[in-house]
Amino acid sequence: MKVTKAQAQANRAHIVETASALFRERGYDGVGVADLMGAAGFTHGGFYKHFASKTDLIAESSTCGLAQSADAAAGHSLADFLDYYLSREHRDNPGQGCTMAALCADAARQPDSVKAAFAAGIDAQLSRPATDAAQPNESTSAEARARRISLMAMAVGAVVLSRSCPDDAPLADEILDACRADALARLTDASNT
């Protein structure tokens, strides 16, 4: 039975979303095409009907994951978002968490198409207007953008460092706690200036 164009698009979107979660959980090299297609409910042979290569899927799934991460932050104050982002709950669920924290190091070793997807996703996140009333000009100020870059780098780095420690290591929690306290203090300082 022939698959309709709409069904083919839905299948592709499902594969991309499945890949996005699996790549965040296992890394780009930790997921083979056969495993990925099986997790999405399709046969391995169908992969090349949707994608020219695994790299094409990596780029598209990265764009999807970065958009999902940005959408998860939308509507929350930066303080509330950082409080969750720098938590054990987020740290312990990479497949459902932030694409940047899960895959930036992997993306750095990928072709330019993947790096371009990350650059666009990072820039989109930085360009989103702040929801904090105390920082109404944040989306237009170069100084505020620099502050957001610094906070983003600290938050992503903290999750990456914490994940690199054994789950029960006190250092894993200490990293998150120290960076959460510092990030929230920076927000308070910025709103008082």
Domains of the chain, first to last: 5-191 (1.10.357.10)
Q: What is the pLDDT of residues 89-130, one digit of tens each?
A: 999 999 999 999 999 999 999 999 999 999 999 999 888 765
Of the ranges 62-76, 126-140, 141-155, which one carries the lowest mean pLDDT score?
126-140
132 closest CA partner among 81, 57, 175: 81
Task: Give whichever of 11-25, 75-89, 130-144 has the largest mean pLDDT.
Answer: 11-25
Amino acid 141: pLDDT: 82
pLDDT value at position 173?
Answer: 96
Global pTM value: 0.87
pLDDT of 62 over the 50 cut: yes
